Amino acid sequence: MPKTGRAMGRTYATGLVIQRESLQWTTVLSDGARIEVTGRAQVALQATESEQPAPAAIPPAETDPAPTALAAAAAPPTETEAGAAAGWKDRAALLREQARSFRGALAVGLASDQLLMRVVRLPATDAAELAGMVELQFDKISPFPVDQMVFSREVLARVDSGNAVLIVGVKADVAGAVENEMNAAGATPGRIDASVMAWWQLMLDAGEIREEGRQVILIRRPAGVDLIVAQGRIPAVFRFLGQGPGVGNEEFEFEVIEEIGYTLMSLELEQGPDQRTSFTVWREDGAADTLAEKIEAARGCRAETKALSGLPPVSEGLARREVLPGVERRLDLTPASWRRASQARRLKHRMLLAAEALIGVWILGVLAVMGGSYLDGRRLAHLREQAVELCAPAQEVRDMRERLRHVNRYMDWQYSAIECLREVTGALPQTGVDLMSLTFKKGESLRVSGEASPAVELVYDLKNKLDASRLFAGNTFTRAPAAISGRPKPTFSFEIDMKFPEHAP
């Protein structure tokens, strides 16, 4: 199964091209600023001499020129090829072996000869309404019932007040064949794409598409020609022109010239003529076609020829589409049944994992409770034995500490009765306040009572001085100053309770 696609803000994606004679894949890594290839391979499917199919039984398969690919063009064999293909080694086993190296989301691309493609102009609207309009458009252009097709859309660009939308469809049995092959290999693709869109992405990234003017791009391969017509950097036409069996190159190239003429005439009627029309033919190295020369002769303008080897492999284009922003709005020809089955498998897998985790937690919980009860019992019994053993020594220590506390308490002269009396008498004014009694409780409190004459302020001055004393933690009136009747001059009685600090013995 492909490894995870994200690591520390970076995104991996892998694409796969599956053909009858070979398979090729590429993995890319994007950090948001740049894209780099991290792995790729092309593996040929070889057969022994006794297994070699008859040449007439299997027509030559279309092959991509580049050694790697990030998308998969997986076309199932036809009925005439089925018997011959049985002689080839099991490519599902080979794909399963290669899938161990895949990383990130897996993009599978289909070749253009499997697809129905049309670019339409639709009003700008929300996604739900756009989906309904696309379905109506596809129903008009599809030669097969919609329920036998899988179709998708991609908004190419905003044009005037609407959108240029690419609609792509594929027969459900073709998508099902891809599904079966990938399931057999144990690799689940995240998206099915169109390979021609990968070529378009590679040309955009390589600066091969002009900003303005009409461009006719032909990608020549043995199976036929991919025709792309673009107005600036916005595609207007995607079409595949297949070269049937028994059709020579000369005849096929004249058919391509005629198709180009019909296509350009239709565009001129729809969008108007463009005097800046250019032609580019992309072909494999060593190809002997004369398509560019025929275009020059028929259209009276220069047709540029370029080698496909000058571009990265088509798979890299599909991979780039997978990691570029907005991938969720790109083509996805994955059948709905496939998505539902994939979701069901993921849900079942998650439920199994959750059930296993719950059972494991329950077992651990039971063991923990039973083990904890047993250990608690053992520990409690051990503690009780220790308590019995330590009870007598502990009591001896407590008694010793109590005796020491009493000794220290009475040997500490700082908080003795004499020191307290000295502190209180030191706070008395020279005249006017007489102490009547002093009650001392060692380590607890000191209570003094007396009389003041002729002013009650003398009592409050005494209390303030005692408040400032470091010997006492605080003092309060246990009896507020009150006048004594029957005296020749004003006399007030009082009683003050003073507390020792907590650390006092």
For 315-355, write each residue's pLDDT tens digit: 888 889 988 887 667 888 888 777 777 677 778 888 999 99
The mean-pLDDT minimum among 2-6, 128-132, 193-197 falls in 2-6
- Is 62 a domain residue? yes
Alpha-carbon separation of residue 154 from 119, 168, 326, 333 (angstroms): 9, 8, 10, 11
Clarify whether residues 370 and 280 are in a common domain.
Answer: no
Position 1 in a domain: no
229, 217 Cβ separation under 8 angstroms: yes
Q: Are both 453 and 484 inside the same structural domain? A: yes
Quick one: 465 and 391 in the same domain?
no
Can you give the pLDDT at residue 363? 93
For position 61, what pLDDT does the model report? 35
For residue 291, pLDDT beyond 60: yes
In a domain, 504, yes or no: no
Considering the domain boundaries, does residue 406 fall inside one?
yes
Q: Are strands 234-242 and 433-441 parallel, antiparallel or unpaired?
A: unpaired
Which domain CATH number covers 488? Answer: 3.30.2000.30
pLDDT on residue 325: 82
CA–CA separation, 71 and 198 (whole Å): 8
Confidence of residue 270 (pLDDT cuts 50, 70, 90): confident
Banded pLDDT at 497 (limits 50, 70, 90): very high
- pLDDT at residue 237 in the model: 93
Cα distance between residue 218 and residue 235, in whole Å: 13
Q: What is the pLDDT of residue 238?
A: 94
Mean pLDDT of 39-52: 64
* Residue 304 maps to a domain: yes
CA distance 435 to 433: 7
Give pLDDT, residue 90: 67
Q: What is the pLDDT of residue 181?
A: 81
Number of domains in the chain: 3
The verdict on 463 and 380 lying in the same domain is no
Strand, helix or coil for residue 222:
coil
Residue 57 reports pLDDT greater than 80: no
Q: Is there a single domain that holds both residue 480 and residue 389?
A: no
Domain identity same for 374 and 453: no
Q: Which two tokens stand for residue 416?
A: 């003795």
| Same structural domain, 65 and 203 | yes
Tens digit of each residue's pLDDT (9 = 90 or more) over 200-229? 999 999 999 998 899 999 999 888 899 999
Answer whether residue 72 shows pLDDT above 90. Answer: no
- Backbone phi, then psi, for 378, in 5-degree steps? -60, -45
Is 258 found in the same domain as 125? yes
> Can you give the pLDDT at residue 74?
37
| Residues 232 and 271 placed together within one structural domain of the fold | yes
Q: pLDDT (tens digit, 9 = 90+) per residue, 436-484?
A: 999 988 778 889 999 999 888 988 998 899 888 888 888 899 888 999 8
Q: In this structure, is residue 465 part of a structural domain?
A: yes
DSSP state letter for 148? G
What confidence tens digit (pLDDT) does each residue in 378-416 have?
A: 899 988 888 888 888 888 888 888 888 777 777 777 778
Name the domain boundary from 322, 345, 368: 345
State the burial class of residue 465 (Cβ atoms within 10 Å of its Cβ: 0-12, 13-18, 19+). middle
Within this chain, do residues 33 and 122 fall inside the same structural domain, yes or no? yes
Domain that holds residue 352: 346-411
Question: Could you say which DSSP state residue 33 is in?
Answer: S
The pLDDT tens digits for 78-87 are 333 333 343 3
Using only the alpha carbons of the chain, give its radius of gyration: 48
Q: Which of 411, 433, 456 is where one domain is finished?
A: 411
Looking up tokens 């180009």 gives 260
Contact 283, 258 (CB under 8 A): no
158-202 confidence digits (pLDDT tens): 887 788 999 999 998 888 888 888 877 777 778 889 989 999 999
Measured CA to CA, the distance from residue 139 to residue 254 in angstroms comes to 32
249 and 361 housed in the same domain: no
Average pLDDT, whole number, for the chain? 82
Confidence (pLDDT) at 10: 84
Q: What CATH number did the domain enclosing 47 receive?
A: 3.30.420.380
Question: Does the residue 88 lie in any domain?
Answer: yes
Largest Cα separation within the chain, whole Å, is 149
In 412-455, which residue ranges form alpha helices assigned H by DSSP? 417-427
> Who's near 173: CB < 8 A, 6+ residues apart?
76, 148
The answer to the question of residue 164 being in a domain is yes
Say if residue 454 is preceded by a cis peptide, omega within 30 of 0.
yes
With residue 355 as reference, give the H or E element that holds it: helix 336-411
Q: What local confidence, expressed as pLDDT, does residue 311 receive?
A: 92
- Cα separation of the two ends of the chain: 78
Res 48 pLDDT > 80: no
Asked if 446 and 302 sit in the same domain, the reply is no
Last residue of a domain, one of 411, 439, 457: 411
User: What pLDDT, on the 0 to 100 scale, is given for residue 6?
Assistant: 56
Share of the chain above pLDDT 70, in %: 87
Look at residue 7 in the predicted model and tell me its pLDDT.
56
Residue 361 clears pLDDT 50, i.e. is over it? yes
What is the tens place of the pLDDT at every residue in 21-37? 778 888 999 988 889 99
Residue 91 has pLDDT above 80, yes or no: no
